[in-house]
Amino acid sequence: MRGIVGYGAYVPYYRLQRSAIGAALGAGGGSGTRAVAAYDEDATSMSVEAARSLIRSFGRSAPTPDALYFASATPPYLDKTNANAIHAALSLPSGVFSADMVGSARSTTAALTAALNDQRPVMITASDVRSGRPSSADEANMGDAAVALLIGSDVDGPVIAEWLGGASATGEFLDRWRQPGWDYSRVWEERFGESIYLPLVTEAATAAFKETEISAGSVDAAVVTGMHARAVRGAARAAGIGDDTPIADDLSTEVGTTGSSHSLLVLASVLDKAEPGQIIMVVNLVDGCDVNFFRTTDAIADYAPHKTIESQIANGNDSLTYQTFLTWRGFLDREPPRRPDPAPPAAPPSSRMVKWKYGFHGSRDRESGAIHLPPQRVSVKGGNVDDMELVPMADVEAKVTTFTIDRLAYSLSPPTVGVIIDFDGGGRFKAELTDVEPDEVQVGMRVQMTFRRLMTADGVHNYFWKAIPVR
Amino acid sequence: MASRGIKDQVVIIGMGCTKFGEHWDKSVDDMLIEAAHAAYESAGVQQDDVDAFWFGTLGSAVSGLALSRALKIDYKPVTRVENMCATGSEAFRNAAYAVASGAFDVVMAIGVEKLKDNGMSGLVGAPLPDDGTKSQLTAPASFSLLAPAYADKYGVDRAEMKEVMARIAWKNHYNGARNPRAQFQKEVSMEKITNAPLIAGDLGIYDCSGVSDGSAAAILCRAEDAHKYTDNPLYVKALSFTAGPAAGPIDPDYDYTTFHEVAACAADAYAQAGVTNPRAEIAMAEVHDCFTPTELVLMEDLGFAERGMGWKEVLAGTFDLDGELPVNPDGGLKSFGHPIGASGLRMLFECWLQLRQEAPADRQIKSVTEGGKTLGMTHNLGGAPGECVSFASIVGSQPG
């Protein structure tokens, strides 16, 4: 049996109320909220959080994949493999292959298909940071998120959702496009796209039903998503899905259409609540139509997601202002303080310190037991030299010992909250606290680590870890 | 561990100090020439009489060549010195050991900084290539960590803590108003200080020392040669320097209410000088008030107040100009300004004036003129809480 062995989803903390757009511009916006990746997040950092969530969902140690694919329509780098940063953040062995499948949201389907057709355990992550020009439909209706799936066979861990097969239909048509460097995509007028998509949906669904010998009546839940809202609305019917078949909430009211991660995000939300023995039909409309069938197994009853999508939606913060949203997305070029531009991280030290910078490993002195962040060679207790072992600290919680609000430091979203945090079981770190309002911070607050993009300088993304409140 | 000291072996025979401030019209060379020549004149020597130089600057020049080029020094040793904000003191410390060794007879320690040419707000460092993971907290933010930790440990509520810090700023501005060399020469009211816009934590603009340009210099010789130059030398009794393991940000045992480096440094200085009761014996202290909570904590680390009681002593006026132990009588880093390479020497300059009874009347310390006290202390710190270096000197107008 082959299929989904594990999954993790990440919905960022911030939400923008759509009405804020209309209030500011007199156009655009809508109702509900959309999820917003913070100024210090991107498709790579969110993928790390989704993958960590996947790994932490295993009650025991998670199976190590043999390959990792990163799928995104908004990759932070071109000509540098973004997946390698995720590989490093998860401290995967160097023998694990990692590669990007990037370009459009259909890249996720490519990654999923490659994983499902492989013999080995394969992890895929999918994530986009999505926006559009102010007052556009994309701006209001898109959202930011990430999902990680571990695909494998029974030898890799109990399969919780068996893959039953599927089919595709492809056509070349101009519906949505973006040049590298553009902040937004352009779309053709939507009635054209609908007229092309729906026949492709019918074709793919028909072929998929035939190929798998599943009947429309035996589908227990349908996940219908895509990059053309109007076509998606007509897709269930075009696919021949029964009127009685529940169509999963596509999370567009609170989260939005999340591009590369959307199909898997909605699938994950179904799996969060699924019973064993349910057939799930996944229909995705991106430059064609791809249909896949999964059936949940008995093992899904024992799978406890580290964080359900519902809980992440409930814990969101919708007080984000529209001007902050525009600033974070680069549409408002605001006056910075008179401080030097940040310097990019240098390649050799970043490479020497990869287990710290990406993997957040400290070192523990064997003689005294003292934990050092960053890792050291000489122990701060007892002065012992070169008797250290690396210890992974990213999943250890900490408390705030003292803090400050720095209104002078350079930041993409000032002020900077600086905290001294002491980890459970030992170790101290001078960190930046993010996803928090300054007046929320108190001595004694519980925090956990999160992987973020600190800033970009000279085109180099500076990835590292920050702390966030435990919520 | 050996730290034997060179008590009374070395004296200062002359000093110079420029005004500190935003000197748009003066270059590094201009300020070096001004300070050096003021020191030569003060000591009654010529440049050729100086055998060796120690030149302190954090980031305004590179190599001893920068000094010899500016002053046109003919083929003498010039050591460029840097130890963060303790640079000026470090130049002095090394010059003193050199002349004590007998290798040279007359030496100069000179420090300079030109911070106002870069157009930035606040202090900026020159970053070295790294992995991008270092904390980017500014200097005010790093030192502001002291305040909530101190307040929490000693039961001082937030408003009271703000008042204590403001009182320190008020005192130093009061003193600076009486100092024609200071960057800021106006008294500032408690209300204005307390209500100033916040920079980091509860620190407002008046809780932070001035960013400025300036230079200061000292000329030293061995004590037995002092009489050739002056009847009124200043004796060096103690020179202490400690560099810590920077354990604060990695060791949960550090509580952000003290500078271990300073406590160790002060203890060594007192041992070298034979001081057993600093509060009673020291007439004045110039300390590193880069930020107001720093000065508060230093009062305890230097032994001027009991642990946890420093804040009460501040409010009681113990460290005011007319208090029991005047701290920063020249206005301190706060209102004199902090051109980094010069500050340690500027502190010694105030001791030079006060202990030899040459300070202006409106800030001359009474315990020196009337109370018979002869000792002064300078303290200079570089880095941040939990990760710093500390310098302390004790000087006096009399041997013994």
Three-class secondary structure assignment of chain A: CEEEEEEEEECCCEEEEHHHHHHHHCCCCCCCEEEECCCCCCHHHHHHHHHHHHHHHCCCCCCCCCEEEEEECCCCCCCCCCHHHHHHHCCCCCCCEEEEEECCCHHHHHHHHHHHCCCCCEEEEEEECCCCCCCCHHHHHECCEEEEEEEEEHHHCCCCEEEEEEEEEECCCCCEECCCCCCCCEECCHHHHHHHHHHHHHHHHHHHHHHHCCCHHHCCEEEEEECCHHHHHHHHHHCCCCCCCCECCCCCCCCCECHHHHHHHHHHHHHHHCCCCCEEEEEEECCEEEEEEEEECHHHHHCCCCCCHHHHHHCCECCCCHHHHHHHCCCCCCCCCCCCCCCCCCHHHHHHCHHHHCCCEEEEECCCCCEECCCCCECCCCCCECCEEEEECCCCCEEEEEEEEECCCCCCCCCEEEEEEEECCCCEEEEEECCCCHHHCCCCCEEEEEEEEEEEECCEEEEEEEEEECC
Which residue among B120, B133, B200 places its CB closest to the CB of A404? Answer: B200
Per-residue pLDDT, A106 = 98
Chain A residues 24-63 with a CB less than 8 Å from chain B:
none
Which residue in chain B is spatially nearest to A347 when comparing CA positions?
A: B131
Residue that finishes a domain, picked among A302, A328, A354: A328
pLDDT digits (tens, 9 = 90+) for B73-105: 999 999 999 999 999 999 999 999 999 999 999
Phi and psi dihedrals of A125, rounded to 5?
A: -125, 145
**What is the rounded average pLDDT of the residues B185-196?**
98
Q: Which residues of B touch A364 (CB under 8 A)?
A: none
Which residue among B119, B133, B247 places its CB closest to the CB of A374? Answer: B133
Residue A350 falls within a domain, yes or no? no
Question: Are residues A429 and B256, on separate chains, in Cβ contact within 8 Å?
Answer: no
pLDDT digits (tens, 9 = 90+) for B292-336: 999 999 999 999 999 999 999 999 999 999 999 999 999 999 999
- CA–CA distance, A131 with A253 (Å, rounded to integer): 16
Question: Are residues A345 and B131, on separate chains, in Cβ contact within 8 Å?
Answer: yes
Q: Are residues A125 and A252 located together in one domain of the fold? A: yes
**Is residue B388 flagged as an active site residue?**
no
Q: Which residues of B touch A454 (CB under 8 A)?
A: 132
Q: Which residues of B touch A422 (CB under 8 A)?
A: 252
Choose from A365, A388, A404, A451 for mutation: most chain B CBs within 10 A.
Answer: A404
**What is the rounded average pLDDT of the residues B108-117?**
96
- CA–CA distance, A6 with A95 (Å, rounded to integer): 21
Given a contact cutoff of 8 angstroms between Cβ atoms, the answer to whether A15 and A33 are in contact is yes
Which residue in chain A is spatially nearest to B148 when comparing CA positions?
A: A402
Per-residue pLDDT, A342 = 87
Domain that holds residue A451: 396-471
Question: Are residues B251 and A381, on separate chains, in Cβ contact within 8 Å?
Answer: yes
Q: Give me the CATH topology for the region B140-205+235-396.
A: Peroxisomal Thiolase; Chain A, domain 1 (3.40.47)
Residue B127, pLDDT > 90, answer no
Given a contact cutoff of 8 angstroms between Cβ atoms, the answer to whether B111 and B56 are in contact is yes
3-state secondary structure chain B: CCCCCCCCCEEEEEEEECCCECCCCCCHHHHHHHHHHHHHHHHCCCHHHCCEEEEECCCCCCCCHHHHHHHCCCCCCEEEECECECHHHHHHHHHHHHHHCCCCCEEEEEEEECCCCCCCCCCCCCCCCCCCCCCCCCHHHHHHCHHHHHHHHHCCCHHHHHHHHHHHHHHHHHHHCCCCCCCCCCCCCHHHHHCCCEEECCEEHHHECCCCEEEEEEEEEEHHHHHHCCCCCEEEEEEEEEECCCCCCCCCCCCCCCCHHHHHHHHHHHHHHCCCCHHHHEEEEECCCCEHHHHHHHHHHCCCCCCCCHHHHHHHCCCCCCCCCCECCCCHHHHHCCCHHHHHHHHHHHHHHHHCCCCCHHHCCHHHHCCCCCEEEEEEEEEECCEEEEEEEEEECCCC
pLDDT digits (tens, 9 = 90+) for B40-72: 999 999 999 999 999 999 999 999 999 999 999
- Considering the domain B10-116+213-232 in this protein, what is its CATH number? 3.40.47.10
Per-residue pLDDT, A341 = 86
Q: Which two tokens stand for residue B58?
A: 């954090």
Question: Are residues A428 and B249, on separate chains, in Cβ contact within 8 Å?
Answer: yes
- CA–CA distance, B354 with B350 (Å, rounded to integer): 6
Residue that finishes a domain, picked among A328, A363, A387: A328
Which residue in chain A is spatially nearest to B129 when comparing CA positions?
A: A346
Q: Are residues A236 and A151 located together in one domain of the fold? A: yes
Q: Are residues A297 and A210 located together in one domain of the fold? A: yes
Which residue among B137, B148, B149 places its CB closest to the CB of A409? Answer: B137
pTM over 0.90: yes
Per-residue pLDDT, B284 = 98
Amino acid at the residue B346: R
What residue spans define the domains of chain B?
10-116+213-232, 140-205+235-396
pLDDT digits (tens, 9 = 90+) for B338-364: 999 999 999 999 999 999 999 999 999
Residue A30 falls within a domain, yes or no? yes
Phi and psi dihedrals of B218, rounded to 5?
A: -135, 145
Residues 6+ apart with CB under 8 A from B292: B164, B165, B166, B168, B169, B203, B207, B334
Per-residue pLDDT, B107 = 98
Which residue in chain A is spatially nearest to B150 when comparing CA positions?
A: A402
Residue A341 falls within a domain, yes or no? no
Burial of A281 (0-12, 13-18, 19+ CB in 10 A): buried
Q: Which two tokens stand for residue A446?
A: 């519980």
CATH of the domain at A213: 3.40.47.10
Chain A residues 379-438 with a CB less than 8 Å from chain B:
380-381, 401-410, 416, 418, 420, 422, 426-432
Q: What is the mean pLDDT of each run of 10 residues along chain A (471 residues)?
A: 97 98 94 98 98 90 94 98 98 98 97 98 98 95 98 94 98 96 94 97 98 97 98 98 96 98 98 98 98 98 96 96 96 88 94 98 98 97 97 97 93 94 98 96 95 97 98 90
Q: Which two tokens stand for residue A193?
A: 């796209």
Q: How far is A335 from chain B (nearest CA, A)?
A: 14
Q: Is the Cα dihedral A294, A298, A299, A305 positive or negative? A: positive
Which residue among A343, A357, A454 places its CB closest to the CB of B127? Answer: A343
Given a contact cutoff of 8 angstroms between Cβ atoms, the answer to whether A17 and A33 are in contact is yes
* Chain B residues within 8 Å of chain A (Cβ atoms): 119-122, 124, 127, 129-133, 135-138, 140-142, 144-145, 148-149, 152, 198-201, 245, 247, 249-252, 254-256
Within 10 angstroms of residue B74's Cβ, the number of other Cβ atoms is 8
A366 CB within 8 Å of a chain B CB: no
* Cα first-last separation, chain A: 37
Which residue in chain B is spatially nearest to A352 when comparing CA positions?
A: B131
Per-residue pLDDT, B122 = 81
CATH of the domain at A436: 2.40.50
Is residue A415 reached through a cis peptide bond, with omega within 30 degrees of 0 on the bond before it? yes
Percent of chain B with pLDDT over 90: 96
Q: Are residues A197 and A322 located together in one domain of the fold? A: yes
Question: Are residues B130 and A381, on separate chains, in Cβ contact within 8 Å?
Answer: no
Which residue among B133, B148, B251 places its CB closest to the CB of A443? Answer: B148
- CA–CA distance, A425 with A441 (Å, rounded to integer): 22
Residue that finishes a domain, picked among A308, A328, A348: A328
Q: How far is B140 from chain A (nearest CA, A)?
A: 8
| A vs B: CB pairs below 8 A | 123
Q: Which of B85, B208, B265, B388 is catalytic?
A: B85
Residue A164 falls within a domain, yes or no? yes
Chain A residues 339-358 with a CB less than 8 Å from chain B:
339-340, 342-346, 348-350, 352-353, 356-357
**Is residue B227 flagged as an active site residue?**
no
Taking each helix axis from N to C end, the angle separating B260-273 and B292-301, rounded to the nearest 10 degrees, works out to 50
Number of domains into which chain A is organized: 2
- CA–CA distance, A84 with A62 (Å, rounded to integer): 19
